[in-house]
Amino acid sequence: MALQIYEHDVIIVGAGGAGLSAAISTAEQGMDVGIVCKSLLGKAHTVMAEGGIAASLGNVAPDDDWRSHFLDTMKGGWGLNDPKMAEIHAIESPERVLELERWGAVFDRTADGKISQRNFGGHRYTRLAHVGDRTGLELIRTLQDKAVSLDVQVYMEYTITEILKNSSGKKVAGAFGYWRITGLPVLFRAKKIILATGGSGMAYRINSNSWEYTGDGPAMALRAGAELVDMAFVQFHPTGMVWPRSVKGTLVTEGVRGEGGVLKNSDGERFMFNYIPDAYVGSIADTEEEANRWAAGDSSVRPPPELLTRDVVARAILNEVSEGRGSEHEGVYLDIASQRSTEFILQKLPAMYHQFKELAGIDITKESMEVAPTCHYMMGGIRIDPETQETCVSGLYASGEAAGGLHGANRLGGNSLSDLLVFGNRAGIHAGELAQKMKNFPKITEEDLEASMDYLDFPFKNKSSGEQPFRLRDELQTIMEQYVGIKRDEKGLEKGIKELQKLRSRTSLLFATGSRSYNAGWQTCFDLINLIDVSLSIAHSALERKESRGAHSRIDFPTPSDSLGKIKFIISLSSGKFDISSASISTPRKELLKMIKEDQTKQKLGGTK
Amino acid sequence: MSAEINTSGSSNSSSNTYPITYTFRIFRGNDKTGEFVNYKVPIDEGMVVLDAILSIQENQDTELAVRWNCKSGRCGSCGMEINGMPKLACMTRLSDFDPATPITLTPMKTFPVIKDLVSDVSWNYEVNKTIQPFSPDENSDFTFQQEDIERSREFRKCIECFLCQDVCHVIREHDKKDSFAGPRFFVRSAALHFHPEDTADRKEWLKEGQGGIGHCNITRCCTDVCPEHISITDNAIIPQKEYVVDNYYSIFGWIKKQFNK
């Protein structure tokens, strides 16, 4: 079958916020860039982001600065964050937001005509630059227009199945895959490759992701010799839709709570007051009266417990449901109707209004929403250098959700869009600079290419008595839900790993039928293989982490462990086997360490603002 | 699956017993050849057309081609024609249809068919490149008020589903793809035009260039199908037509205005 070959100095796999940011900063250095999208341009998951971009612009809260943003990020991540990444992220995100505005993004405004900001969980100051509840759409459209204006070559609807290296196996040399329109094989030769493939939410049945989010980047990086880090930490967003069943898992933005929405159980109680963790006692309102004053705009009081971090809120909701105080469809109630005027809700949350009206027949200006946790985001991902975003494989970079390190054990809302902008930009700069110094494209051997071509064909060679990809995916989701979900224990995780390994060996029998053009079954074979490798990485890391921290909850180890709080678990793959090792987390530099300690003391004394 | 009793909230209360079997008559083929195939699918309460298609893919025919992503009306990937009407499959609830009558699904007709329900929309991305991008005054400090952005805000809601392009008869029937941009791109040029910091003038593009806005004779079909409820005709197209007329050749513009009075 004819192989189509393209050459670009830098190839970026993934065209969401991180990929497009990387494409722009590479192209601005005059490099020849190609960006490969699994779907059409502008449809990546970034478009779904609702609430906003965290950046300490200080437009609404003048006392805010990068230091506070750094502290909040580290605290939200339970200290497991890479401190250098957290620092870079906090320092650079305001520049990136202002840059986005200069590229044409239209943010909501303050009374004095600056970019407006809103509250979000775990951010002590009003920090999220936003566009109603359609921030992601504005971000991706702005970035895609900018990239197109810089002549970035866009390859739409291509699936990458493998990262290829040069003959010595030391340098990255190309991305291999196929064009989904024709099903024909394609090779993108490149000097540097940036993986910006996003998350792996499809490993779980109830998720807020689309079909595309199958861990392609982490799985391909792993197979190419790179490492994954922090994989135990899977973010379940506390508020996904629960009814009707067909939209179960669809995201309900944290912005609803940021704009004053409250969580209630079936007794009508604002239950979050019962779930304030020690680390936040003193910095969160402990009476409804104080919370209401805060919602009314009194910045001298502390924010309501509905704005605790996502890990805390998700567990609280599960607990309410399991103790019999859940809503009709096993969620809880999210109520903004009783808190804000119709006009306010329509202006601040138009997409939420639209979504509930059309999909559930609910008018959120009059009625409560029913919500429950949904798999939303991977804190873990490809292990990278905090400053350059390069992996341990020379020439291979990662940024955005595909990469790990910034968020530690739990990501704060709003820190994902800023992550994409800051580290996408950095990956592009570093990859571009180094690509510029390379004269030739690394060579790929004929044998490697043939093996890649064979891999593409394998599902068509299997008999239809083999494994049907959608059925196998269903089995995977059942295993993950049952053994590697929000609450975990040793027995379950061990069982889960065994089941996942069985599933992994069955993937060689996956079959596809019919033509290669736009074939959903065939596509799902490759998606599934990646998903299983990522799922195994999650399960292995979760088994090893014998503590509860952030998004990772072990029933058999219900509290955080001091010693594990200094350790990261790292997954690598050697001859088909998953290896797990540990590395200590680098200590923040002196000045930052001092800040963290002072902040903890201040909070114990009754307030961190 | 047993019936769920629908109480508070859900407006679609119905005493029907779910699942209900619906029949889908789906185009299977490419730009050269094709046929309609019937599929029966058990439908649960609240399901949308895309749910039914994905169910067919998973349980009956893994080759069936459909383009989709977010499944909540945000990304604009799953545009198709449902009983001949351009719609998003993820936002079209099956409870709005009679289960006794088959529902016909076809790809967007205006563009070449790739396979089954997927059409080749790449022309739209080429048209987009012809529009002069956002061009701010480099010395501006970007201070502007909420009221300054309200007008462009409506156009920035566009999710690029291309349903407006599909229904526009200038493209659909007259195939003016070489000299006409279509409603989606009048929305984009309007978004730029009404951006408080943009300084570019796109009248050449609108009049003589790929825009070709004169071809539009305001049938409002685009506005009718927009899932984001953007008033494409009244708020994007007519003001830009007037802008061209007023700024391009004012004496003709004046005469035309007299006639229109």
| Residue (of B31, B22, B42, B38) closest to B116 by Cα position | B31
Q: Do residues B106 and B115 touch, judged by C-beta distance below 8 A? A: no
Q: B63 and A515: CB-CB below 8 Å?
A: yes
pLDDT of residue B4: 37
In chain A, residues 512-531 whose CB comes closer than 8 Å to chain B:
512-515, 517-522, 524
ipTM given for this complex? 0.94
Phi/psi for A374 (5° steps) reads -140, 140
Domain spanning B122-260, CATH class: mainly alpha
- What is the C-alpha to C-alpha distance for residues B42 and B40, in angstroms, rounded to an integer? 7
Report pLDDT digits (tens) over B167-222.
Answer: 999 999 999 999 999 999 999 999 999 999 999 999 999 999 999 999 999 999 99
Which of A43, A144, A467, A468 should one mutate to test binding to chain B, selecting the residue with the greatest count of B CBs within 10 A? A43
CA distance A114 to chain B (A): 6
Q: Does B37 contact A at CB distance below 8 Å?
A: no
Q: Does B166 contact A at CB distance below 8 Å?
A: no
Q: Does B193 contact A at CB distance below 8 Å?
A: no
From-to residues of CATH 3.10.20.30 in chain B: 20-119
Q: Do residues B8 and A328 touch, judged by C-beta distance below 8 A? A: yes
CA distance B241 to chain A (A): 24
Residues of B in contact with A511 (CB under 8 A): none
Categorize the per-residue pLDDT at B16 as very low, low, confident or very high, splitting at 50, 70 and 90.
low
Report pLDDT digits (tens) over B226-237.
Answer: 999 999 999 999
Q: Do residues A460 and A512 touch, judged by C-beta distance below 8 A? A: yes
Q: A113 and B145: CB-CB below 8 Å?
A: yes
pLDDT of A609 higher than 90: no
| Residue (of A25, A107, A96, A102) closest to A56 by Cα position | A96
| Residue (of A349, A351, A418, A415) closest to A379 by Cα position | A415
Q: Do residues A283 and A350 touch, judged by C-beta distance below 8 A? A: no
From-to residues of CATH 1.10.1060.10 in chain B: 122-260
CA distance B258 to chain A (A): 37
For A542-551, letters b (16+ CB in 10 Å) and e give: bbbbebbbbb
Report pLDDT digits (tens) over A297-340.
Answer: 898 999 999 999 999 999 999 999 999 999 999 999 999 999 99
Residues of B in contact with A251 (CB under 8 A): 72
Residues of B in contact with A149 (CB under 8 A): 133
Report pLDDT digits (tens) over A397-451.
Answer: 999 999 999 999 999 999 999 999 999 999 999 999 999 999 999 999 999 999 9
For B157-191, letters b (16+ CB in 10 Å) and e give: bbbbbbbbbbbbebbbeeebbeebbbbbbbbbbbb
Task: Give the CA radius of gyration of chain A.
Answer: 23
Q: Do residues A224 and A336 touch, judged by C-beta distance below 8 A? A: no
Q: Does B91 contact A at CB distance below 8 Å?
A: yes
Angle of CA points A13, A19, A21, to nearest 5°: 155
Angle of CA points B162, B164, B170, to nearest 5°: 115
Region of A30 on the Ramachandran plot (φ > 0 left; ψ -120 to 50 alpha; else beta): left
Half-sphere exposure of A24 (CA within 13 A, CB side): 27
Task: Give the chain A residue nearest B147 (alpha carbons).
Answer: A109
Tokens coding A70 = 């750094």
- What is the C-alpha to C-alpha distance for residues B98 and A409, in angstroms, rounded to an integer? 49
Nearest CB among A103, A154, A328 relative to B7 is that of A328
Q: Does A362 contact B at CB distance below 8 Å?
A: yes
- Please give the mean pLDDT across all residues of chain A: 96
pLDDT of residue B7: 35
Q: Considering the domain delimited by B20-119, tell me its CATH architecture.
A: Roll (3.10)
Q: B195 and A104: CB-CB below 8 Å?
A: yes
Residues of A in contact with B51 (CB under 8 A): 246
- Residues of A annotated as part of the active site: 310
Q: Which domains does chain A have, with CATH numbers?
A: 4-233+379-437 (3.50.50.60), 240-375 (3.90.700.10), 462-572 (1.20.58.100)
CA distance B7 to chain A (A): 9
Indicate the Cα dihedral angle A445, A451, A456, A458, nearest 10°. Answer: 170
Percentage of chain A beyond pLDDT 70 is 99
Q: B62 and A512: CB-CB below 8 Å?
A: yes
